[in-house]
């Protein structure tokens, strides 16, 4: 039986790899081994608990106010020891975090085959998202198998010179996880749907952009006082400080600690619309027909825009307020964004990935 070493460190990676890991336990050909860097500690642990995943290796690298240099250097040295101890036949990374890139680089250094889940996403702007765009471009150069969620991602990789025999369109594993959790929910319909769900945490938004977002939320709350905004606030102090400074204490803005994935999925189902800079939310929301306003300057989830479920609104205060106001006041425009779409697959991505790995020619 071949050893497959999973390396991940953040909540989104854990959500998207959980279906692959748990389904792989049923394989008679490959054996999953889990290593977490804990690039994000508390938020990662929530997901591990929900999906009953117990890492064999927990590198626990997180420290207060860690920099990209800290994450990169500490992960690289620690992963080297894990690979030397396990001697895996393949290493799997997901997405575009610093752990993703370092995991792929570690596999390359130790001459272990690398598989990249959610490969081929691009904005073609190396600073947006930062550092994710470069992480995934570099990971593509290191990987041996590329699991592209969509045809667009597949095409991006082929244009970059990746061997098409090593690229597979699988759908996105986040849909597997999202649908699995959604089926388990006991949803209590809200008496009215006057709730807007907000998430904003991206590194490239630190500073002026997150302040613009907060001032937009404040204006929306003041303009629509019978609406409630719910905002689970990321633990990073670069997000916590402006959020508390600008919108803390407003009666119709509820600031929450980061929610576990089950509670967050429940809020997605109950929300009227979602304001976000999250990549995962852009993928999940179309599956249940939820309108999404993307508070970023660029997005690599073009399929969500093309499906009509999402709009790119940037971080300009006025633009955010205008777009939210339109969806609250123009019911026709709102309904146009409520159609269910599944550009990222039907929830079978993890099974496709496992089947491909089982057939991989390990040398």
Catalytic residues: 96, 118, 132, 201, 203, 234
CB 308 within 8 A of CB 339: yes
Q: Which of 166, 178, 216 is nearest to 321 (CA)?
A: 216
Q: Which helix (H) or strand (E) holds 293?
A: strand 292-294
* Nearest one of 208, 222, 120 to 171, comparing CA atoms: 120
Strands 292-294 and 310-312: parallel
Residue with tokens 């991006």: 156
**The residue to which tokens 């045809």 are assigned:** 151
The neighbour count for residue 2, using CB atoms within 10 Å, is 15
Token representation of residue 55: 């890492």
Angle ∠(283,38,61) on CA atoms, nearest 5? 145
What residues are paired with 146 via a beta bridge?
116, 167
């Amino acid at each position: 039986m071949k050893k497959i070493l999973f390396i991940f460190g953040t909540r989104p990676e854990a959500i998207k790899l959980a279906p692959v890991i748990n389904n792989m336990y049923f394989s008679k050909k490959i054996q999953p081994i889990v290593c977490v860097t804990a690039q994000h500690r508390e938020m990662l642990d929530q997901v591990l608990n929900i999906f009953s995943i117990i890492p064999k290796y927990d590198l626990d690298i997180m420290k207060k106010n860690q920099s990209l240099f800290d994450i990169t250097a500490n992960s690289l040295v620690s992963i080297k020891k894990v690979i030397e101890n396990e001697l895996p036949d393949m290493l799997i990374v997901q997405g575009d975090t610093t752990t993703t890139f370092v995991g792929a680089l570690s596999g390359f250094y130790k001459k272990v085959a690398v598989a990249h889940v959610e490969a081929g996403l691009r904005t073609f702007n190396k600073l947006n998202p930062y550092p994710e765009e470069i992480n995934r471009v570099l990971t593509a150069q290191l990987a041996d198998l590329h699991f592209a969620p969509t045809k667009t991602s597949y095409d991006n990789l082929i244009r970059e010179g990746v061997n098409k025999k090593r690229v597979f369109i699988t759908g996105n594993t986040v849909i597997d996880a999202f649908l699995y959790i959604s089926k388990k929910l006991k949803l209590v319909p809200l008496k009215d749907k006057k709730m807007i769900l907000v998430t904003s945490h991206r590194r490239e938004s630190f500073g002026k952009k997150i302040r613009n977002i907060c001032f937009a939320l404040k204006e929306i709350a003041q303009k629509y006082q019978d609406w409630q905004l719910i905002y689970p606030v990321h633990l990073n102090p670069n997000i916590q400080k402006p959020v508390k400074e600008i919108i803390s204490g407003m009666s119709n803005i509820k600031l929450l600690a980061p929610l576990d994935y089950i509670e967050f999925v429940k809020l997605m189902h109950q929300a009227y619309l979602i304001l976000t800079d999250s990549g995962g939310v852009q993928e999940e929301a179309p599956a249940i027909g939820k309108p999404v306003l993307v508070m970023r300057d660029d997005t690599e989830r073009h399929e969500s825009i093309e499906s009509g479920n999402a709009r790119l609104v940037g971080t300009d205060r006025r633009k955010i307020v205008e777009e939210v106001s339109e969806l609250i006041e123009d019911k026709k425009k709102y309904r146009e964004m409520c159609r269910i779409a599944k550009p990222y697959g039907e929830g079978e991505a993890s099974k496709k990935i496992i089947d491909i790995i089982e057939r991989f020619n390990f040398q």
